[in-house]
């Protein structure tokens, strides 16, 4: 048996989310927190669900529940997948803090039956997620990412004939991948990002960056100092913003009359089709698709005029938005809306099927790994991305299954995975310790990882991909 429940269902039902939100007990083996989490996940809601057991829109020290759609403000929200209580997915734990309580927050996903928007229900305050030096995501860590975002910047300049000296603003600029390329193309640049460690790197490289969350007030300051922007970009960040009305107010202030707002995010269609549940975590407030975004843009006298698909992050979509009538609407919009409609992407029925698929995948993965352990095989993980935290916690995978996790980002080495507390070591340890199997957590970068760690397979090791179907490579 892959898992054993140590507490009765009756005992766990006596505990409420109120007792757990914002804290958890230090992990010593299989704790009540983990078992309760497992119980909640095993009984995840697959139909119209009752409200979560916390008062909605009542702020506490960690965040609040949102009871309306952030795109259309409709209140017909249906919960279709509930992960229970999860830690901050980028909250990698220092060794000296392992014995301290670790914050956890509700993680559940809602569908707006009005416009089709998908979003998580509980909003963790941005200062908790991004406001400390413990936020360690580096967008330049993979060669795949570097190539993609450099090419994205070049394509934007070429496609929209952006003149040298024009202003480009990048929201969520991180270490400045897009900014650096825009500068090479002769543009004036401005980054905006709330993560101190990453903006420090950008600033040290001469990339002008404001260390704050983007807002209409920030946009007003940029216009006062540098004028209006021909291009505003956001890569894997717009889905992190709760108040998107304020975002669009800022975009309206920033853009020139013919300016373009280009943002990239994982496409909900790919998330559903690939069963990529690990893309769901507290930073990702929204899961976008074409139809809801088109309606959302129209609320602000803006127009979604083009979309482009990209392979990055397991399947992303690039949205191009401008002032209504300023740009010709491309046929790609209608094509993708048609694909989404045929896939029943915005229906509760399809979301409920996704939930069943996710629970099947979870069972398959746990069974595979436990069987390998029962055979005496040694297992490790590769990579410590935010999505890996969702997968590890949802599946209850700790150091009793994965002995350690290797990581290319040296900022994470020496820390422990959120919630599951697996030690993070340097990628080189994979070759030295020689586990029989290595689970690739950043599966969206699997080709690059396999190439970089080809010496591991040369000495007899085997990779495991967790999604969309767990398999040994």
Q: Tell me the residue ranges of DSSP E strands in 227-359.
A: 229-235, 255-266, 286-287, 302-310, 316-323
Strands 437-440 and 379-382: parallel
Residue 298, SS3? Answer: helix
Chain centroid offset of residue 305 CA: 25
Three-state SS sequence of 120-187: ECEEECHHHHHCCCCCCCCCCCCHHHHHHHHHHHHHHHHHCCCCCCCEEEEECCCCCHHHHHHHHCCC
Q: What percent of the chain has pLDDT over 90?
A: 73
Residue 318 or 310, more confident: 318
143-343 against 350-472: fold identical? yes
The pLDDT of residue 434 is 95
58 has pLDDT over 90 = no
The pLDDT of residue 29 is 31
Residues 6+ away with beta carbon under 8 Å from 281: 86, 89, 107, 386, 387, 389, 390
User: What tokens appear for 278 in the block?
Assistant: 């690990």
Q: Are 233 and 169 a contacting pair, CB within 8 Å?
A: yes
Average of per-residue pLDDT across 110-116: 97
Strands 424-426 and 229-235: unpaired
> ω into residue 468 within 30 of 0, thus cis?
yes
The pLDDT of residue 138 is 56
Sheet architecture: strand order including 209-210: 209-210, 188-192, 167-171, 229-235, 255-266, 316-323, 302-310
- HSE, side-chain direction, 13 A CA sphere, residue 322: 19
Q: Can you identify the CATH homologous superfamily of domain 350-472?
A: NAD(P)-binding Rossmann-like Domain (3.40.50.720)
Chain centroid offset of residue 394 CA: 15
| 143-343: CATH class | alpha beta
Q: Which of 94-108, 122-136, 270-284 has the lowest mean pLDDT?
A: 122-136
Helix axis angle, 216-226 to 244-254, nearest 10°: 10
- Going from N- to C-terminal start, the domains of the chain cover 9-130, 143-343, 350-472
The pLDDT of residue 194 is 87
Average of per-residue pLDDT across 278-284: 96
358 has pLDDT over 90 = yes
Residue 309 or 111, more confident: 111
pLDDT band at 141; cut points 50, 70, 90: low
Mean pLDDT of the chain: 86
Q: Give, rounded to a whole angstrom, the gap between the first and last alpha carbons of the chain.
A: 25
330 has pLDDT over 90 = yes
Looking at the DSSP bridge assignments, the partners of residue 262 are 233, 320
Q: What is the dihedral of CA 260, 261, 266, 269, to 10 degrees?
A: -60
pLDDT band at 25; cut points 50, 70, 90: very low
2 has pLDDT over 70 = no
pLDDT band at 21; cut points 50, 70, 90: very low
- HSE, side-chain direction, 13 A CA sphere, residue 183: 14
Q: Are 261 and 322 a contacting pair, CB within 8 Å?
A: yes
Q: Are 134 and 123 a contacting pair, CB within 8 Å?
A: no
Whole-prediction pTM value?
A: 0.83
CA angle centred on 449, ends 448 and 455, rounded to 5° = 115
Burial of 140 (C-beta count, 10 Å sphere; 0-12/13-18/19+): middle
Residue 287 or 197, more confident: 287
pLDDT in tens, 440-453: 999 988 998 999 99
Average of per-residue pLDDT across 349-371: 97
The pLDDT of residue 316 is 85
pLDDT in tens, 68-97: 999 999 999 999 999 999 999 999 999 999
Q: Are 40 and 9 a contacting pair, CB within 8 Å?
A: no
Residues 6+ away with beta carbon under 8 Å from 223: 253, 254
User: What tokens appear for 332 in the block?
Assistant: 């790609």
Share in percent of the chain as helix, strand, coil (round to 5): 35, 20, 40
Q: What percent of the chain has pLDDT over 70?
A: 84
The phi and psi torsions of 217 (rounded to 5 degrees) equal -65, -40
Q: Which of 20-29, 245-254, 460-469 has the lowest mean pLDDT?
A: 20-29
- HSE, side-chain direction, 13 A CA sphere, residue 449: 25
Q: Which of 51-60, 112-121, 181-190, 430-439 has the lowest mean pLDDT?
A: 51-60
Strands 118-120 and 104-112: antiparallel
pLDDT band at 181; cut points 50, 70, 90: very high
Highest mean pLDDT (candidates 18-32, 40-54, 226-240): 226-240
The phi and psi torsions of 417 (rounded to 5 degrees) equal -65, 145
Q: What is the dihedral of CA 406, 407, 410, 416, to 10 degrees?
A: -60
């Amino acid at each position: 048996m892959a898992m054993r429940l140590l507490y009765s269902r009756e005992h766990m039902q006596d505990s409420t989310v109120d007792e757990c939100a914002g804290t958890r007990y230090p992990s010593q083996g299989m704790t009540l927190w983990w078992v309760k989490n497992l119980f909640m996940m095993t009984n995840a809601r697959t139909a119209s669900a009752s409200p979560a057991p916390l008062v909605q829109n009542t702020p506490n020290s960690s965040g609040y529940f949102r009871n309306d759609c952030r795109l259309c403000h409709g209140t017909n929200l249906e919960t279709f997948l509930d992960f229970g209580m999860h830690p901050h997915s980028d909250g990698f734990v220092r060794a000296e803090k392992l014995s301290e309580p670790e914050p956890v927050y509700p993680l559940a996903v809602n569908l707006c039956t009005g416009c089709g928007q998908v979003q998580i229900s509980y909003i963790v305050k941005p200062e908790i997620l991004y406001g400390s030096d413990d936020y360690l995501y580096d967008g330049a860590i993979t060669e795949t990412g570097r190539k993609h975002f450099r090419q994205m910047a070049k394509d934007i300049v070429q496609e929209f004939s952006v003149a040298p000296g024009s202003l480009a603003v990048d929201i969520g600029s991180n270490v400045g991948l897009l900014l650096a390329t825009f500068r090479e193309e002769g543009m004036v640049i401005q980054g905006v990002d709330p993560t101190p460690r990453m903006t420090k790197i950008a600033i040290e490289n001469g990339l002008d960056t404001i260390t704050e969350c983007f807002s209409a007030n920030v946009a007003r300051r940029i216009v006062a100092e540098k004028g209006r922007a021909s291009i505003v970009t956001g890569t894997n960040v717009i889905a992190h913003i709760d108040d998107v009305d304020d975002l669009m107010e800022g975009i309206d202030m920033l853009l020139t009359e013919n300016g373009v707002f280009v943002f990239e995010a994982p496409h909900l269609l790919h998330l559903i089709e690939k069963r990529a549940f690990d893309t769901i975590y507290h930073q990702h407030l929204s899961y976008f698709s074409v139809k809801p975004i088109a309606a959302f843009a129209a609320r602000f006298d803006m127009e979604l005029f083009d979309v482009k698909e990209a392979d990055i992050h397991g399947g992303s979509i690039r949205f191009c938005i401008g002032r209504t009538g300023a740009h010709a609407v491309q046929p790609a919009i209608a094509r993708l809306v048609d694909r989404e409609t045929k896939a029943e992407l915005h229906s509760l029925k399809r979301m409920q099927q996704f939930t069943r698929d996710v629970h099947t995948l979870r069972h398959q993965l746990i069974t595979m790994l436990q069987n390998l352990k029962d055979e005496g095989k040694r297992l490790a993980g590769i990579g410590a991305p935010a999505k890996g935290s969702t997968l590890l916690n949802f599946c209850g995978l700790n150091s009793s299954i994965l002995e350690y996790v290797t990581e290319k980002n040296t900022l994470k080495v020496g820390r422990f995975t959120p919630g599951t507390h697996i030690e993070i070591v340097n990628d080189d340890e994979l070759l030295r310790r020689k586990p029989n199997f290595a689970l690739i957590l950043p599966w969206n970068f699997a080709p690059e990882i396999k190439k970089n760690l080809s010496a591991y397979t040369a000495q007899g090791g085997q990779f495991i991909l967790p999604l969309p179907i767990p398999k040994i490579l």
